[in-house]
Amino acid sequence: MDVILRWIEAHPGLAAWVQAAGSVFAVTAAASLPFIHGYLTEKRENKVRLAALFALAQQSVILLEDLAGAMKTESGMNDYMHLGVTGEWTELRAMLASFPLWDVVQQDLATQIGHLRHAVTVGHSIAETIPPGDIADPNFDIDRSHIEGGRILAIEARDAIAKLL
């Protein structure tokens, strides 16, 4: 380092060029700081959004599995209805509906959000049509495969979101 400083002192014009280059570097570095900060902030916000979406997907899977399990027996359905789970469906559906798709840049993620919304809509509509009495009611004609299909969609969406985290 000492040799370089002596060489620069021996060539007075070079010192001015080194100072000019250092100034340009300093100005460029200072100008790029807001862009770097914005990039890091956006990356952190995307991570938070993905974590929230993953939690919603996990809740979707749980609610669909609970509904499918309850529909296997009459006592399971009575217990399910007694718990008042339809309110959870309503809240989950509202949270997924309010998730801002315009902030999503990955097409695959937007597709997964659409799948989750569909799965929760199916589960919610089935949960709302369950008769208050018994599931042996002849008017209670729900294709249980819709719940299984919704559960599969929710699991696939949850797993796809987990890969992005």
Q: What's the one-letter identity of residue 113?
A: I
Q: Which pTM does this prediction carry?
A: 0.69
For the chain, 165 residues long, the average pLDDT of each consecutive 10-residue run is: 76 76 86 86 85 89 83 70 73 85 72 86 79 54 71 85 82
- CATH, range 42-164: 1.20.120
Distance, in Å, from the CA atom of 8 to the CA atom of 5, rounded to the nearest integer, reads 5
Helix axes 107-129, 86-97, angle to 10 degrees: 150
Structure tokens at 61: 């899977």
Contact assessment for residue 70 and residue 80, using Cβ atoms and an 8 Å cutoff = yes
Domain ranges of the chain: 42-164
Question: How far is it, in rounded angstroms, from Cα 46 to Cα 83?
Answer: 35
